[in-house]
Each structure stands twice: as C-alpha cells, then as structure tokens.
Amino acid sequence: MSKAKSEKADLKSAEYQAAETLLMPQATGVEKSMLAMMAIDPANVISRCISDGMTGDYFYVPAHRLLWELFRSRYDKGVGIDPTSVAQELLDHRQLEAVGGHAGLMDVFSYATTTALYEQHFEILKEKYIRRAIILTSNKAADSAYRQEGEIEALLDQTEQEVLHIRQSAAKGAEWSLKADIQSAVDNLERMMSSGGEILGMSTGFEKLDRMINGLKGGELFVIAARPSMGKTSYLLNIIEHLILDLQKPVLCFSCEMPSVQLVERLLYARSGVSKAKLQDRRSSITKEDMKRLSNAIVELQKSRLIIDDTAAISISELRAKARRVQREHPDLAAIGIDYLQLMRSHTKQAQNSREREIAEISGGLKSLAKELNLPIIVLAQLNRGPENRTGKNKGAPMMSDLRESGAIEQDADMIGLLYRKKYYAETDEDREEVGDDATLILAKNRNGPTGDVQLTFTAELMRFTTRIVSEGEEEEG
C-alpha cells in the first residue's frame, strides 16, 4: 500500500473512531430540572410544556421520558403529582425499576431547581431534541442511500419531508396554533362584515366564480376537469394571467403536456388580443395597433413573476420538492397551477400495481402540499368518455363521476369545476350557430360555498374565456 493510501485509510479510520465516541446531544440535568419543576407546580409547568409543544422525544433518558408521560397523564386526569402516589402507580404497572427504583424517583423529586428557569431549560431541551432528530433523520437517509432501495425521488422526498417535520415540530404547539387560528377567523369575520361583499381570497378574474368560491385561498385544491379540446389549459392560463399581470403575484405553473414556450405564446395571444392565425396569415394586415398591443403584452410578461416547469410525467415527490424550493426563493408565491393531473406519476411500490392507487397518491399529495405551503393549487384533470355517451339535452354535459379514477379526486378537492362547450357536441351547423361560443364551468363541488354554473364565452383564436352576461331567465334555466 502506498504512503498516500495508508494515510487516507488511517484518516478514515480515525473519523469512524471519532464518530463512535460521539454522544447524542443531551442534557440529563436539565431533564431532571424540568421534571422537578412539574412536581413543584404541575398546573403551571405542565400546561406550559403542552402548549409549547413538548413531547416525550424532548427527553433523551428513557426513565425521564417515562416520567414525563406519567406526569402528563396524571395532570390530564387532575391527579396530584407527589413521590408516594407516583411510586405506587409505577409499581402497579411494574415500571418502578425502569426509572431507577425509589432512589431514582427521589433523585428527580429532590432535584434543586426553580420554576423561574422554565424558559431557559425548555429551550435547552428543545435544542437537544432538534439536534438528535437531525442526526437520526440523517442516519436513516444515509442507511437507505447505502442500501440503494427504492426510487431516488422517493428517498429525496421522504428525507425532505422528515426534515420539514423537524422544523414544524420545533414550533409551538396546540394552544398557540388555536389562538392564531381564532385570531385569523376573527379577522376574516371582520373583513366579511366590513367588506360589503368583497371576497376573502385572491380573484380569479371571473367575477361569478369569485363570488361562489370566495376567491382562491391558501390550502385549497381546485380541480378543473374537462374532455380534450374543451379549453381547460386556456382557462387555467386565463386565471394565471390575471394573477401575474393584473394582481402582479408570483405563480408557479407545472406543464406536464405542453412545452413552456407554447404556454408563453398562449399568454401573449390572450393578453394582446392578436391571434396566432393573424400572425401566420401573410394575407392579413397586421396593424400598428396590433404590434403595439403585442409589444405591450411582451413587456408585461417579461416583468411578471411567472415560473414555469415543463417536466414531462413529473412525479408527485419531484413536484413537491420543486414547489417547496420555489416558495423558499419566492416567499410571496401566490398560487400553483398544474396541467394536468393524469400526466403526473407516483413512484411508490403500491402505485406501480394500481393506477387508481397512483391517482389517489397524487391527488392526496397535492392537497397536503396546498396545506403545507398554505397556497391555492389549481390542477387540471381529464374526464372519461361519459359526456359523449349522454343523449338529448344532456349530451356533452359532464358530471363529477366522469372524472377518471374519480373517487380520490372527489374526496381531496375543495372545489371541482367541470368545463364544457355545447358547440363541440352540436351535430348540425344550425345547432353550432345557435350555441356560438358559449361555454360553461359547472362548479359541481364547493366545500365552503354554493355550487352552480358560471356562464362563459370562449374566443378560440385568442384562447381566452370571458364572463358571459346572461338574463335571469336563462341563468335559472341553466
């Protein structure tokens, strides 16, 4: 063996020896102090521990973890915490020796401390817990990486989730969250009372839809479903256009089907009002006004904060990882759009054996991501051939049951909009002329509001939907 290789081997050996001598982060004295405080003033100290999010994992010593669980249980039952009754309960459950017997128990109860040290000692325990959690998560990830088991995307996603869980679990617990939620609810109530009908969430650009869903709100999953060629991608882009250009919000768009450049072209046609056909037709006269509108649309889009990812067949784990990264880079990210759900993939073993299970994992993953990032997610979905099989006046009219692998999607979605155009199903020129460019978004599910129809007009050459004004009689009939 060469000298260089020998030195490298010795160095690696030294690293392993150092790792073996390292101790898990711990503060056993502080753990005893915290338990002693609980015995001194259980009503105050234990309630603060619970509200601050303490769990058994905050205690490194198994005996201390056992005592914490027992103290909390007795506190919940309103039973006192004294050495005699605690020792008897441990004895009854054959756990006294697990805490070091009577001597170990008295060591905790007699530990010299004061409740004035609560905040300082709590922070120390939390810090040690976080450090241990990071070490355990890293070791678990390293072990899985060495074994080379499962898909790499799944391993990355799982590791990222566990790290995020450590950060979330380090935050304050139930009492703090409840207070924050109550305050948010009060703020919303005050806004509703003083707004005079103003929506709580972000506008979609479609007034009636905004009224029905009360705007796009964080944590909600909005599924827009349609048969091919109904214009669902255009509808999603119309909403995104409103968010990024009119409201000047950053939006992340995943395009599983269409290259990003085509999405940008569609946005430019819709925004400028200059159609692709007009630009391509040499016989058409492009006016200075057309060029000005197109130029303005280009400048607007360049200034916008639209992020497009056109990865084909993106997996739910990869999408979640990218969304988290984008939100870190753009903390004010307003929404996520996805085109479309059935083109996504899940690489878990269960998903490989069942398409229905795969769709369930994808829709469930999108809903949990919306809650995790506190963002509205608008996802397009494909309908099966059910609308084509209907006859008479209902021909082409979609239903929620037409959603492919619909069970999980129906359950996870907060809102489901079914988009269709009667013209597509008209059998004669006369029928097509009668319905014209009419389109309808059927809001078939709305978890927190009414359902009903949103009447639209679709301008195909500009790939733009606009609100269609209808008479009261026509609206009631629809």
User: Between these two residues, 60 and 188, which has the higher pLDDT value?
Assistant: 60
The residue ranges of DSSP E strands in 77-215, in sequence order, are none
Assign domain 199-279+286-477 to its CATH architecture: 3-Layer(aba) Sandwich (3.40)
Structure tokens at 145: 């990486």
Phi–psi pair at 307, nearest 5 degrees: -115, 120
**How does residue 347 score in pLDDT terms, banded at 50, 70 and 90?**
low
Which position has the token pair 């004295």?
A: 29
Residue of 162, 257, 265, 372 with catalytic role: 257
Q: CA-CA distance, 276 to 474, in Å (whole number)? A: 33
More confident residue, 212 or 154: 212
pLDDT at 196: 62
How does pLDDT run across 287-312, given as a tens digit for each residue? 888 889 888 989 988 898 999 888 88
Residue type at 448 in one-letter notation: N
pLDDT over threshold 70, residue 18: no
- For the stretch 130-144, pLDDT in tens is 899 888 888 888 888
Output the pTM of the full model: 0.64
Token match 């599983």: residue? 256
Contact 456, 466 (CB under 8 A): yes
Instruction: Indicate whether 322 pLDDT > 80.
Output: yes
Please list, residue by residue across 424-435, b when 16 or more beta carbons sit within 10 angstroms of its beta carbon and e when fewer do. Answer: bbbeeeeeeeee
Residues of the chain with CATH 3.40.50.300: 199-279+286-477
Q: Give the residue-averaged pLDDT of 368-376.
A: 91
Residue 12: pLDDT over 50? no
Give yes or no for residue 9 having a pLDDT over 90.
Answer: no
What local confidence, expressed as pLDDT, does residue 240 receive? 94
What does the alpha-carbon distance between residue 195 and residue 211 come to, in Å, rounded to a whole number? 13
Mean pLDDT of the chain: 82
Q: Is 257 a residue of the active site?
A: yes
Q: In the structure, what pLDDT confidence band is assigned to residue 405 with cuts at 50, 70 and 90?
A: low
CA distance 174 to 53: 7
Nearest to 381, CA basis, from 230, 264, 242: 230
Residue ranges, CATH 1.10.860.10, the chain? 28-174
Which architecture characterizes domain 28-174 according to CATH?
Orthogonal Bundle (1.10)
